Structure 1
Amino acid sequence: MAKSQLKSDAIMEQMKQHLSTDAGKDLAKKIGLVYQINVAPKKIGFDEVVYVVDLKKGEVTKGPYEGGKPDATFSFTDEDFVKVALGKMNPQIAFMRGAMKIKGSLSAAQKFTPDIFPKPSKM
């Protein structure tokens, strides 16, 4: 299986750098939750790349969460994840349209907003 380069990789890379800044550390303190994000190239559930955005430790890792259960798990296609992360699609609308699937705590999921992502520099 060829590893396709997901656009989400670039966002996660920015997120990783963002969390090492003071603003990122404040964000982690404020939210204190662990999100697992499954991103599929084309169709949710197939060939997913898994990321963990750990806002307890303030880090982003690739691969399933190993510290128990994440507070919330999201599944997206690459395209829809990028839209939500960049604030081009409202997470509630994404969920209602089926563009985003959620498992776990809904109250934790509601804190997962485009605001947690760094504002993109030109990509």
Structure 2
Amino acid sequence: MDFKNNVGGTGATPALASSSLKSDALFAKIIEEVSKNPAKAKSVNGVFLYNITENGKTVKKWTLDLKSGDVYEGEPKSGKADTTMTVSDADLIDIAAGTTNPQVAFMKGKLKISGNIMLAQKLGPLLKSEAKL
């Protein structure tokens, strides 16, 4: 892909893209669900860092500190994340919507996980269990 010669008005500028990601609504819902059921969130007992990317570059970071029941934008406030996940904004939405299987996304390289991968598996059922379609 040629970023230097990208002429035309089809792409958002990086500053605009980082402030209005589709996944922001997903994290807002996660914040809401964690605040409704903090005991369930704390039962996961892990700190997750999401690196949200666009065009291969990290544009936003979210932390799910499920040891304290806190979800916020940015890096972990103390220490480091138990599990770090790097995924594009669009792929994260597909995973959350159930149109992409997280394991398939991982195998295809769309979802990169470092740290405690087993802990990441505990996160999936927590997030899906409260979803009402």
TM-score by length of 2: 0.78
Q: Is the 8 A contact 1:86 1:114 kept in 2?
A: no
Q: Which of the two has greater helix per residue? A: 2
Counterpart residue identity of residue 30, structure 1: S
Amino acid at match of 1:119: A
- For structure 1, the residue ranges without an aligned partner over 5 or more in a row are none
Q: Quote the residue 2:131 is aligned against.
A: 119
Summarize the alignment of residues 71-90 of structure 1 with structure 2, pairs less than 5 Å apart. 71-90=82-101
State the match for 1:36 in structure 2: 49
Report whether the alignment pairs 1:8 with 2:38. Answer: no
Match in the other structure for 2:3? none
Superposition RMSD in Å: 1.8
Aligned partners of 1:77, 1:32: CA distance in 2, in Å? 25
Distance 2:122 2:98 in 1: 14
Counterpart of 2:16 in 1: which secondary structure? Answer: coil
Decide whether aligned partners of structure 1 residues 37 and 48 sit closer, same or farther in structure 2, where only a CA change above 3 A counts.
Answer: same
**Which is higher, the Rg of structure 1 or of structure 2?**
2
Question: Number of paired residues?
Answer: 117
Taking only the aligned residue pairs, the percentage that are identical comes to 33
* Paired residues of 2:51 and 2:58 also in contact (CA < 8 A): no
Counterpart position of 2:107 = 96
Letter in 2 for 1:72: T
Q: 1:38 to 1:120 in 2, by over 3 A?
A: farther
Structure scoring higher RCO (CA < 8 A, sep ≥ 6) equals 1
C-alpha spacing 1:71/1:47, structure 2 compared with 1 (3 Å): closer
Q: Does 1:19 align with 2:34?
A: yes
| Cα distance, 1:115 vs structure 2 | 4.0
CA contact (8 A) 1:51 1:60 kept: yes
> Would you say 1:64 and 2:79 are equivalent positions?
no
The structure 1 segments of at least 4 consecutive aligned residues displaced by more than 2 Å after TM superposition are: none
Deviates more, 1:25-34 or 1:59-68: 25-34
TM-score where L is the length of structure 1: 0.84
